[in-house]
């Protein structure tokens, strides 16, 4: 049974070595401030790409939200691909002012295929230089009215790929939506913001990013079809020498799942997608850590081989040792103690990360103060549910399935909740 303690000790050392830099990320915003903007700001022409599958309840709100941005309307064209829709998404999007293409393909399913189809249609119907950059959003997104203007400032500084600050429409709905929301706020403030301040590459997270026309052309469209096409695009870009920037002042809100079954399905896809990205790019990414001395490659390598797998290995090892010990009638006190301390330390670590994020981003969270505090205590539990999900991803066949969105809110609704939250 002493072997269990030794293994846990080794895993703790590996965990610390791999992820100590993310603790440093937590400190960076405290000591390093954003540089003032000095570059001249040009007005660029943008295409907005939205992949929507049965999103008739939310798509019009996003299209109108984009058309009401504090940015010249004539410089922004909204494109929607109604992907395998069986509802009125296409008609509703057209009525709201979007250019809509309909796609029906039951073999090539997923957001990556839909975006590539949309870019192909645009290339056929518009001049090559019609747009300087391409925004990519999900149908449930909602943008701050200065979103495009702020992203344009960063774009004008010469950045070719830019991601934005990700907030949530429904933080206070329940412990599940809060778990997602707090994690994305942490990604924005203490991963991407810190990376930007340090001059290393950020990471695209699902939605709310801008890509230069040249990058799209170099890639031949959108050729990222794995289950997590955002991480695939990020890793591919970093391997090919691109640096992804972050615009903290460009705020995007999206809807988080509130049902555990839906959350399980979504995060199972993410976990499987991370494994796919690691299988396809892991070797090349690891190589560039040394050949280019690339910290960004190391950072992304740690992202696609997340801490959850080390945690899962530790917990499974302890449970196995406990079962063997009980079967052989051995003294399992040390195993029980080790397993208990693994869980306690994991909870405290995640609680600390959540607490720092909550304090830092308090004003950005739109729900009542008591809910903010209560969901801090459930945040580590939400994160712990990744352990069985990651385990299931190793042995389960996973296919892309749409997430149902129903949270219809305007900016006024969101801000009203912020004011009520005090």
Whether 317 is in a domain gets the answer yes
> How much is the pLDDT for 322?
65
Shared domain check, 127 and 14:
no
119 vs 220: CA distance, rounded Å: 10
65 vs 79: CA distance, rounded Å: 14
pLDDT greater than 60 at residue 126: yes
243 CB burial (10 A radius; 0-12, 13-18, 19+) = middle
Q: What is the DSSP letter of 42?
A: P
Shared domain check, 153 and 50:
yes
376 vs 389: CA distance, rounded Å: 21
pLDDT greater than 80 at residue 226: yes
Task: Order the strands of the 46-52 sheet from edge to edge.
Answer: 99-103, 76-83, 46-52, 133-138, 209-212, 161-168, 244-254, 142-143
Sequence-ordered list of residues with C-beta below 8 angstroms from that of 26, at least 6 positions apart, any chain? 190, 194, 353, 356
pLDDT band at 17 (very low <50, low <70, confident <90, very high): confident
Residues 215-225: what's their mean pLDDT? 96
> How much is the pLDDT for 90?
97
pTM for the model stands at 0.90
pLDDT greater than 60 at residue 103: yes
137 vs 211: CA distance, rounded Å: 12
Taking the CB of residue 394, how many other CB atoms lie within 10 A of it?
Answer: 11
> How much is the pLDDT for 40?
78
* Per-residue CA distances from 235 to 7, 189, 205, 224, 278 (Å): 31, 20, 12, 11, 9
Write down the mean pLDDT value for the chain: 89
Whether 350 is in a domain gets the answer yes
Residues 315-328: what's their mean pLDDT? 67
Q: Of the given ranges (219-228, 271-280, 335-344), which has the lowest mean pLDDT?
A: 335-344
> How much is the pLDDT for 326?
64
Shared domain check, 171 and 58:
yes
> How much is the pLDDT for 321?
67
pLDDT band at 317 (very low <50, low <70, confident <90, very high): low
Residues 298-313: what's their mean pLDDT? 76
Whether 406 is in a domain gets the answer no
Whether 381 is in a domain gets the answer yes
Q: Which of 146, 161, 174 lies closest to 209, judged by CA?
A: 161
Shared domain check, 164 and 313:
no
| Angle subtended at Cα 164 by Cα 367 and Cα 300, rounded to the nearest 5 degrees | 110
* DSSP codes joined into one string, 326-356: HHTT---HHHHHHHHHHHHHHHHHHHHHHHH
170 vs 360: CA distance, rounded Å: 19
Shared domain check, 164 and 127:
yes
What is the biggest distance separating any 2 CA atoms in the chain, rounded to whole angstroms? 76
Contact status, residue 186 vs residue 353, Cβ threshold 8 Å: yes
Contact status, residue 244 vs residue 210, Cβ threshold 8 Å: no
> How much is the pLDDT for 403?
75
For residue 50, what is the domain's CATH number? 3.90.550.10
Whether 410 is in a domain gets the answer no
Number of domains into which the chain is organized: 2
> How much is the pLDDT for 341?
78
Whether 34 is in a domain gets the answer no
pLDDT greater than 60 at residue 94: yes
Q: Of the given ranges (11-25, 156-170, 255-269, 364-378), which has the lowest mean pLDDT?
A: 11-25
Strands 76-83 and 99-103: parallel
Shared domain check, 128 and 152:
yes
Q: Which of 188, 187, 110, 138 lies closest to 383, judged by CA?
A: 187
Contact status, residue 326 vs residue 339, Cβ threshold 8 Å: no
Q: Of the given ranges (144-153, 300-309, 345-354), which has the lowest mean pLDDT?
A: 300-309
82 vs 361: CA distance, rounded Å: 35
Instruction: Identify the domain containing residue 373 by its residue range.
Output: 2-28+286-395
> How much is the pLDDT for 143?
97
pLDDT greater than 90 at residue 222: yes
Shared domain check, 135 and 6:
no
Shared domain check, 166 and 96:
yes
Residues 35-42: what's their mean pLDDT? 77
Q: Which of 146, 165, 187, 142 lies closest to 248, judged by CA?
A: 165
Residue 281 has phi, psi (to 5 degrees) of -120, -10
Residues 113-127: what's their mean pLDDT? 96
**Higher pLDDT residue, 183 or 30?**
183
Whether 133 is in a domain gets the answer yes
Whether 419 is in a domain gets the answer no
> How much is the pLDDT for 421?
43
> How much is the pLDDT for 8?
64
% of the chain at pLDDT higher than 90: 69
> How much is the pLDDT for 420?
47
113 vs 401: CA distance, rounded Å: 13
pLDDT greater than 90 at residue 10: no
Shared domain check, 304 and 249:
no
185 vs 366: CA distance, rounded Å: 12
209 vs 245: CA distance, rounded Å: 10
Shared domain check, 135 and 172:
yes
| Angle subtended at Cα 109 by Cα 106 and Cα 113, rounded to the nearest 5 degrees | 120
Shared domain check, 168 and 67:
yes
Contact status, residue 224 vs residue 112, Cβ threshold 8 Å: yes
**Higher pLDDT residue, 335 or 23?**
23
pLDDT greater than 50 at residue 422: no
> How much is the pLDDT for 330?
60
> How much is the pLDDT for 332?
62
378 vs 35: CA distance, rounded Å: 36
Shared domain check, 193 and 110:
yes
> How much is the pLDDT for 335?
65
Taking the CB of residue 57, how many other CB atoms lie within 10 A of it?
Answer: 18
pLDDT greater than 70 at residue 7: no
109 vs 121: CA distance, rounded Å: 17
Supply 232's token pair: 């695939």
> How much is the pLDDT for 340?
81
């Amino acid at each position: 049974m002493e072997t269990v303690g030794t293994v846990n000790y080794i895993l703790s050392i590996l965990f610390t070595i791999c992820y100590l830099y993310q603790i440093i990320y937590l400190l960076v915003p405290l000591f390093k401030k954003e540089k003032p903007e000095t570059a001249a700001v040009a007005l660029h022409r943008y295409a907005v790409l939205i992949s929507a599958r049965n999103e008739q309840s939310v798509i019009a709100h996003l299209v109108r939200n984009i058309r009401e941005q504090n940015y010249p309307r004539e410089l922004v064209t909204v494109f929607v691909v109604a992907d395998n829709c069986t509802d009125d998404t296409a008609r509703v999007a057209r009525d709201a002012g979007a250019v809509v293409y309909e796609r029906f393909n039951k073999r090539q399913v997923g957001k990556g295929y839909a975006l590539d189809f949309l870019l192909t249609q645009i290339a056929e119907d518009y001049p090559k230089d019609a747009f300087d950059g391409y925004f990519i959003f999900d149908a449930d997104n909602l943008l701050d009215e200065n979103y495009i203007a702020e992203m344009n400032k960063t774009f004008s500084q010469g950045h070719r790929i830019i991601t934005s600050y990700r907030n949530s429409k429904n933080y206070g709905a329940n412990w599940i939506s809060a778990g997602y929301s707090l994690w994305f706020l942490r990604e924005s403030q203490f991963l991407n913001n810190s990376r930007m301040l340090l001059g290393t590459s950020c990471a695209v997270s699902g939605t709310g990013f801008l890509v230069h026309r040249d990058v799209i052309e170099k890639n031949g469209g959108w050729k990222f079809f794995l289950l997590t096409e955002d991480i695939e695009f990020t890793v591919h870009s970093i391997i090919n020498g691109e640096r992804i920037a972050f615009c903290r002042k460009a705020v995007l809100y999206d809807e988080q799942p509130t049902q555990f079954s839906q959350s399980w399905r979504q995060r199972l896809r993410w976990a499987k997608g991370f494994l796919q990205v690691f299988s396809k790019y892991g070797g090349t990414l690891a190589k560039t850590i040394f050949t280019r001395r690339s910290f960004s490659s190391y950072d992304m390598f740690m992202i696609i081989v997340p801490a959850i797998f080390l945690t899962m290995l530790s917990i499974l090892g302890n449970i196995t040792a406990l079962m063997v010990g009980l079967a052989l009638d051995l003294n399992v006190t040390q195993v029980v103690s080790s397993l208990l301390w693994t869980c306690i330390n994991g909870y405290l670590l995640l609680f600390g990360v959540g607490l720092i994020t909550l304090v830092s981003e308090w004003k950005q969270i739109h729900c009542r103060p008591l809910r903010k505090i209560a969901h801090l205590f459930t945040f580590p539990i939400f994160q712990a549910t990744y352990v069985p999900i990651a385990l299931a991803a190793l042995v389960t066949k996973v296919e892309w399935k749409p997430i149902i969105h129903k949270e219809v809110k305007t900016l006024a609704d969101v801000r009203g909740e912020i004011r009520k939250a005090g």
